[in-house]
Amino acid sequence: MNIHEYQAKEILKRYGVPVPVGRVASTLQEVKAAAAKLGGRCVVKAQIHAGGRGKAGGVKLASSPEDAVEKASEILGKNLVTHQTGREGRQVGRVLVEQGVNIERELYLGMVLDRAQSRVTMICSSEGGVEIEEVAAKQPGKILKEAIDPAIGLQPFQCRRLAFALGVPREVVGKMVAMMQALYRAFDDCDCSIAEINPLIVTKEGQVMALDAKMSFDSNALFRHQEILALRDLNEEDPREIEASKYELSYISLDGNIGCMVNGAGLAMATMDIIKLCGGEPANFLDVGGGADEERVAQAFKIILSDARVRGVLINIFGGIMRCDMLAQGVVDAARELSIKVPLVVRMQGTNVELGRKILADSGLPIITAETMAEAAEKIVQAVKKF
């Protein structure tokens, strides 16, 4: 789960990471008040869950409260298109109004899981303000890392090693170490999956500060973080993905026109792949899970068909536990209730498969059945072409 920059900064501040003074605003009136409080000179930053805001015109300098209002009016309520939002962009509902600071140096500080080591790693670079993936690709020597032993946590010597390697002035090293340890505490306490301070700045006055901040959280750990769950912004998410998550369905929108319903993540990905191999384009990823019952199957159906681009649906279920007769009944009921008009191909394997096929055949609905995955993919691609 992702949160906004202003929310990440509030969390980091609680853990002792210095951040610029600022206030979030959703109206021009609030922008004016916030800017006046900062003494006029300030930065207005669009709050959306996507990177590349600066280049896209979502971050503007202002010289007075009036200027801040003018700059904010160019951002608030508008659609911001960055390289991460897709063509349609994201509507900006809030801006962060922040004090301007005197930047001496821009650095990068981040934390991420190193899967190969099964450890959280702190990453630093002297190249702040650019995407770390870009630095890693072009100047791998400029990436510094420290793996963290979970038994003892991030140690001061590791932070000093990073700070000295970054070449920050001696009198700033202590502040940098404190900031790194604060970031680690926040990351660990909040079950983060990513935390990034980019840029981390050293000011002309010799302070360190998080000028931008990004945090995302392990969704499997949110059960123990109600306060973080409360920061979820549904406007930033695909409505169908939100609907799916209510029924414990894992759904992701894609660009094609063949809807898929599959049990299991690996098989669901493989089903998308085989549709593509047969010359079709999948409209979504959808994992109904292992214990899917009639209700969940029906909900999954509704979500797939709520996508107007869908011209056909492929159901591919390899059940161990799942009973095919129950699944077939769920499919028939949902197809009737929704009076499905697009072609539907069902391939199922598992317990009571013969009974399941009989239920589909006897339903009187134009359901196409298939024995194998390849046959199912070919049939749906052909059916969609004719439809």
Partner 1 sequence: MSILVNKQTRVLTQGITGATGQFHTKACKEYGTQMVSGVTPGKGGSSFEGIPIFDTVSGAVAGTAANATVIYVPPPFAADAILEAADADIPLIICITEGVPVRDMIRVKRYLEGRKSQLLGPNCPGVITPGECKIGIMPGHIHRPGTIGVVSRSGTLTYEAVDQLTRLGMGQSSCVGIGGDPVHGFEFVDVLDLFNRDSGTEAVVMIGEIGGSAEEEAARWIKANMKKPVVGFIAGQTAPPGKRMGHAGAIISGGKGTAREKIEAMKSAGIRMASSPALIGRTMQEALGKL
Residues in touch with partner 1 (CB under 8 A):
113, 115-116, 118-120, 132-133, 136, 149-151, 188, 191, 193, 218, 220-221, 223-224, 250, 252, 254, 262-277, 282, 285, 287, 290, 318-321, 349-351, 372-374, 377
Between 156 and 290, CB nearer to partner 1: 290
Nearest partner of 18 among 171, 182, 155, judged by Cα: 182
| 108 has catalytic annotation | yes
194, 218 Cβ separation under 8 angstroms: no
Q: Which CB sits closer to partner 1, 97 or 135?
A: 135
Residue 371, CA atoms < 13 Å, CB-side half-sphere: 0
**Is residue 180 classed as helix, strand or coil in its secondary structure?**
helix
Give the helix/strand (H/E) hosting 83: none
CB of residue 313 to partner 1, shortest distance in Å? 17
Report the sign of the C-alpha dihedral through residues 106, 38, 96, 226, in that order: positive
Minimum distance, C-beta of residue 331 to partner 1, in the bound complex (Å): 17
- Asked whether 303 and 249 are in contact (CB, 8 A), the reply is yes
Strands 90-91 and 79-80: antiparallel
Choice between 22 and 319, CB closer to partner 1: 319
d(Cα 130, Cα 132) in Å, to the nearest integer?
Answer: 6
d(CA 347, CA 105): 59
Least distance in angstroms from the C-beta of 246 to partner 1: 16
Minimum CB separation of residue 374 from partner 1 in Å reads 4
237 vs 251: CA distance, rounded Å: 12
Coil, helix or strand for 145? strand
Q: At what angle do helices 294-305 and 239-246 cross, to 10 degrees?
A: 180
Between 181 and 271, whose beta carbon lies closer to partner 1?
271
The C-alpha atoms of residue 129 and residue 149 are separated, in whole angstroms, by: 28
Minimum distance from residue 90 beta carbon to partner 1 (Å): 14
Q: Which of 5, 6, 108, 247 is catalytic?
A: 108
Q: How far apart are CA 206 and CA 176, in angstroms?
A: 11
To partner 1, the closest distance from the beta carbon of 222 in angstroms equals: 9
Q: How far out from the chain centre does Cα 271 lie?
A: 23
* Catalytic choice (98, 196, 251, 378): 196
Q: Residue 202 or 376: which CB sits closer to partner 1?
A: 376
Nearer to partner 1, 40 or 350 (CB): 350
Question: Active site includes 133?
Answer: no
* Length in residues, the chain: 387
Strand order in the sheet with 250-253: 250-253, 284-287, 258-262, 312-323, 344-351, 367-370
How near is the Cβ of 337 to partner 1 at its closest, in Å? Answer: 26
Closest by Cα among 326, 318, 321 to 348 = 318
| Contact call for residues 82 and 55 (beta carbons, < 8 A) | yes
Phi and psi at residue 217, in whole multiples of 5°? -120, 150
Least distance to partner 1, CB of residue 53, Å: 16
Question: Residue 321: what are its φ and ψ, rounded to 5°?
Answer: -85, -40
- List residues with catalytic annotation: 108, 196
